[in-house]
Amino acid sequence: MLGRLNHVAIAVPDLAAATAIYRDTLGAAVSQPQALPEHGVTVVFVELPNAKVELLEPLGEASPIAAFLEKSPSGGIHHICYEVNDILAARDRLKAAGARVVGDGEPKIGAHGKPVLFLHPKDFAGTLVELEQV
């Protein structure tokens, strides 16, 4: 069911500072910031040859990233994203196996313009998992 690793997401308290670290210190190509109000975040993507690193900053007081950063003020790994061919088939298979989908269970459009779902970390070894349809 799982395809390739799409990205690892890191929550950061200061997106501009984190972007500078990846771009200027590590020499990586970094996308322009993109606000995603539906998800409560502003993101950039660090482009790597085999995957991406997504840097997330809270967008608004109700951002789920804000709550994460309250517990980890310096930031940290927030989730991991895997690609799937059919997100609805993957969701149905996972739910049948007892996995919980975060939210209303319906895919939302993610930063790449593709449908995404998040899976509850308690069902996946303490890791918030994002699935993205390719």
Give which of 35, 42, 74 is closest to 58, Cα–Cα.
Answer: 42
Residue 59 CA to residue 66 CA, distance in Å, equals 8
Residue 2 CA to residue 86 CA, distance in Å, equals 10
Read off the tokens for 6: 């799409």
- Beta pairing partners, 105: none
**What Rg do the C-alpha atoms of the chain give, in angstroms?**
15
Active-site positions read 130
Note the helical H segments in the chain. Answer: 15-20, 64-71, 87-96
**Contact criterion met (CB below 8 Å) for 9 and 52:** no
